[in-house]
A and B are shown apart, each in its own frame.
Chain A
Amino acid sequence: MPTKFIPDLNWSDVTPKAVFLNRRQLIAGAAALSVAGPAVAKLDYVKSDYSTDEEPNDISDIRGYNNFYEFGTGKEEPSVNAQKLTVDPWSVKIDGMVDKPGDYDLADILSGVTLEERIYRLRCVEAWSMVVPWIGFPLADLLNRIGVQPSAKFVAFETLVRPEEMIGQRYPILDWPYREGLRLDEAMHPLTILATGLYGEEMPKQNGAPIRLVVPWKYGFKSIKSIVRISLTDQMPETTWNMQNPREYGFYSNVNPTVDHPRWSQASERRIGGGLFGGRQDTLMFNGYEEHVAGLYAGQDLTKDY
């Protein structure tokens, strides 16, 4: 057990901003959606203009079809195996080039935060996709509260390692802990969120409870789940799939229909929920978020920085 160290960070100092929030400040809460499922706490949240108006996938799709190798490599395994995971208490170590490092309790991270619903497309590197109504808040909010030092250039993330509860970690299929990373400007982008729920309810364990990253213009594996560590650094961090196979999984891993995975095409995708005869649809540049994020990569050759 890490000793819990809460530094003198005063959460009431926090300036809740996020301009776009004011536009449609409606508390949707329990009223907006009635979703079948186990009784879990409903979350209070507001809507966001960053949401797509595409129809979200059924909650059973989202909860039943997961890549979360900590709980097995099969798509249906996490929904079964993840239920053993203890998500309370949960603390996140925030360290590296920050003003206020420490082990933060999840409740502290969430206190004073305005949760938003972000209905995002999710594109897996395996060429399937979904639309997920996440509940979360901009990662930038947290980083601003913690205070990022000017020397920091990247953000590194780690998933929990607890083989007693995460049976996939008993095998060296990947080099645990699962690691991911973003460049600081990507991390600060308003589309990048930390999500704690979906469909108006607390995050199902198989989807990365209690807190996970969502970066909608990158392949799904960048959106690391069940985060226990966030480090600010000046070095490009090591990331799990890149370590596993650098030729196939780059650090950036932006959704890009013109840069194929060496073993399969990324030009099109299968939308989950389409059934046996749903066929495929074209994959969009940056997963359809091009107008928001293309500027981040101006001057970069995306066939090299894949």
Chain B
Amino acid sequence: MTLTDRINQAARRLPAWPIYIVGVLLPVWLFWQAASGALGVDPIKALEDRLGLWGLKLIVAGLCVTPLRRFAGVNLIKYRRSLGLLAFLYIVLHFLTWLLLDLGLRWEQALGDIIKRPYITVGMVGLLAMVPLALTSNDRAVRWLGSARWQKLQKLAYLVALSGGVHFLWLVKAWPVEPFLYLGAILGLLAVRMIPKRFRLAA
């Protein structure tokens, strides 16, 4: 049995719900660590950064699902919704950490930053683009929209990923490698989607 077969077989047996459990526990754990000093002397920034980075990781993971199926025959599609929803949760918490804990509800500065600071603006675009995706992430919405239109709406995920990757690169000082790696991965994962159908694995 090939590795692909083995992964697919395991995926058939393993349900998606444990992902939600672990995924929801992580921010609880992060928050507890931040409150108890385990994340260092600047817990607000640490929490903000960790939530943003986990959100971005989940977004990238979600983008891997389709290429893995097309080019490697690995089918993890049943986990994709949980990845997306958790990414949304983390980015909402990331945003709330910024607004409530970091800015302490200084509305004027918050609005000013959203409008004037490109990296915040881009992050906001990413967050807002996730809202329709989260709202239509249930079977009822898929039926209501019809599969074709729902599929089309899912393309918003590309905008989310690009916004997230650009946001990360834009906020750093100097030139650390990490944000380049993320943005590179995102661009790569979007580019492989443009490879013509005839090069794909037969389903």
Contacts and interface: CB of A to CB of B under 8 A. Distances in A.
B40 A276 contact: no
30 contacts: A58-B41, A60-B41, A65-B41, A73-B173, A73-B176, A172-B175, A173-B175, A263-B117, A263-B119, A264-B117, A265-B109, A265-B112, A267-B109, A268-B106, A268-B109, A273-B41, A275-B35, A275-B43, A276-B35, A276-B43, A276-B44, A276-B47, A276-B101, A278-B44, A279-B101, A279-B104, A280-B102, A280-B103, A280-B104, A280-B106
A112 B47 CA distance: 47
A69 interface: yes
A219 B71 CA distance: 51
Nearest to A279: B104
Contacts of B175: 172-173
Interface in A244-264: 244, 260, 263-264
Interface residues of A, number: 30
Nearest to A125: B173
Main DSSP-derived SS at the A contact region: loop
A178 to B, nearest CB: 11
B139 interface: no
Nearest to B97: A276
B174 A61 contact: no
Interface string B103-143: 11010010011001111000000000000000000000000
B113 A264 contact: yes
Interface of A: 58, 60-61, 64-65, 69, 73, 75-76, 126, 128, 172-174, 244, 260, 263-265, 267-268, 270, 272-273, 275-280
Given A69-B174, A73-B174, A263-B119, A272 B109 contact: no
Contacts of A75: 40, 42
Given A265-B113, A277-B101, A174 B174 contact: yes
A64 B39 CA distance: 12
A294 to B, nearest CB: 25
A280 B173 CA distance: 22
Contact of B45 (A64, A73, A128, A268): A128
